[in-house]
């Protein structure tokens, strides 16, 4: 038998003369996932973060000329507890999100890569915001998780038909001396993870690297070092994208600038915590991709951008990181 739930109640009267403030407070209540008990009385399941958020909102309401109080109460009995829990049923909201995902699926084939990425980020924000206020998960939650996973899989297939699947296992520490003057191969039509990985290889791992851009992973030359495709020497492992796997493999993760770049690449490649510069880099990458005649030219355009971002991140992280690694000079070598 479960214990009766403890609740936060916000009892308020909004300022009557400030329509902008009222709208802002209503939006805040909705974003927090509050349920409406009656006009002026809002409910949240008890939690430290929820109580703090409601108190901050109450203070803002009072400052704007309204009145507000936050109190705690326990459900009177099982029937009332079930009633209150039912106010937080997100089934209809998940159904609306499901319709948005379905509509987005149908339009994917007619969108450009940047448009797909923007749609993906918008829908991810909606899904994650809804999950954050789904205080009592149920069957609708499970269906929504499955729908979201399916949608992500469809997007991955459209954007990168040969995008690698994350492998399991430990990342072995390697010696850069064993990877000098090598031919490195990855899928053509470079995007963020492959571009950044090629830059990392040329600047920090193998200064004399030569690159081959593959139509299909199966066309990888026998002696080439493959990266960012299934079966490649370096590819996604666990939660890490290829750029992060290369950092870990060659002991580069302690460099604050490279670690921060890894966060950016991860966010753009598979999602997660958004790095502020992500959208700017994605826009620059998209522009370079449109104007580059091939992947060699694309690398020539993008490498200076990554140089600049690395310098910025390294400077910003100088106080919190160890000695900075010195990148090898030179440009990305063209394939032959």
Residues 81 and 113 in one domain: no
pLDDT exceeds 50 at position 318:
yes
- The total domain count for the chain is 3
Residues 310 and 276 in one domain: yes
Residues 198 and 268 in one domain: yes
CB 222 within 8 A of CB 233: no
* End residue of a domain, out of 57, 86, 115: 86
2: confidence class by pLDDT, cuts 50, 70, 90: confident
Residues 180 and 303 in one domain: yes
Residue 68 to residue 55: CA distance in whole angstroms: 9
Q: Which domain holds residue 55?
A: 6-86
Residues 34 and 132 in one domain: no
Q: How many CA atoms does the CB half-sphere of 257 hold within 13 Å? A: 20
At 157 the pLDDT is 72
**Residue whose token pair is 């509050």:** 34
Nearest to 335 by CA among 285, 305, 297, 304: 297
pLDDT one-digit tens code per residue, 76-131: 999 999 999 999 999 999 999 999 999 999 898 888 888 898 899 899 999 999 99
79 vs 167 pLDDT, higher one? 79
Is 1 contained in some domain? Answer: no
Span 232-246, average pLDDT: 95
For 265, the token pair is 């690449």
27 vs 319 pLDDT, higher one? 27
214: confidence class by pLDDT, cuts 50, 70, 90: very high
Lowest mean pLDDT among 43-52, 158-167, 224-233: 158-167
The rounded percent of the chain whose pLDDT value lies above 90 is 65
Residues 190 and 278 in one domain: yes
Residues 194 and 82 in one domain: no
pLDDT one-digit tens code per residue, 16-61: 888 898 999 999 999 999 999 999 999 999 999 999 999 999 999 9
Whole-prediction pTM: 0.54
At 287 the pLDDT is 84
Taking only Cα atoms into account, the Rg of the chain, rounded to an integer number of angstroms, comes to 25
């Amino acid at each position: 038998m479960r214990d009766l739930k403890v609740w936060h109640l916000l009892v308020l009267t909004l300022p009557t003369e400030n329509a902008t403030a009222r709208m802002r407070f209503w939006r805040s209540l909705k974003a927090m996932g509050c349920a409406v008990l009656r006009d002026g009385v809002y409910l949240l399941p008890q939690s430290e973060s929820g109580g703090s958020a409601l108190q901050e909102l109450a203070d803002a309401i009072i400052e704007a000329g309204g009145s507000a109080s936050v109190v705690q109460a326990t459900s009177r009995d099982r029937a009332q507890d079930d009633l209150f829990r039912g106010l937080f049923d997100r089934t209809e909201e998940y159904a609306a999100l499901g319709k948005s995902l379905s509509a987005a699926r149908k339009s994917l084939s007619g969108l450009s890569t940047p448009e797909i990425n923007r749609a993906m980020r918008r829908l991810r924000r909606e899904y994650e915001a809804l999950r954050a206020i789904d205080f009592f998960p149920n069957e609708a939650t499970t269906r929504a998780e499955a729908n979201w996973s399916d949608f992500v899989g469809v997007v991955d297939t459209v954007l990168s038909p040969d995008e690698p699947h994350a492998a399991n296992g430990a990342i072995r520490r390697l010696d850069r001396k064993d990877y000098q003057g090598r031919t490195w191969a990855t899928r053509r039509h470079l995007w963020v993870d492959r571009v950044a990985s090629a830059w990392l290889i040329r600047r920090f791992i193998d200064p004399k690297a030569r690159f081959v851009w593959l139509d299909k992973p199966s066309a990888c030359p026998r002696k080439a070092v493959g990266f960012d495709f299934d079966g490649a020497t370096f590819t996604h492992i666990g939660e890490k994208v290829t750029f992060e796997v290369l950092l870990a493999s060659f002991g580069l993760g302690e460099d604050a600038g490279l670690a921060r770049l890894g966060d950016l690449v991860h966010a753009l490649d598979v999602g997660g915590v958004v790095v502020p510069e992500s959208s700017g880099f994605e826009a620059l990458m998209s522009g370079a991709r449109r104007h580059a005649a091939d992947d060699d030219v694309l690398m020539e355009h993008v490498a200076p951008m990554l140089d600049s971002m690395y310098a910025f991140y390294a400077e910003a992280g100088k106080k919190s990181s160890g000695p900075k690694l010195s990148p090898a000079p030179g440009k990305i070598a063209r394939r032959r």
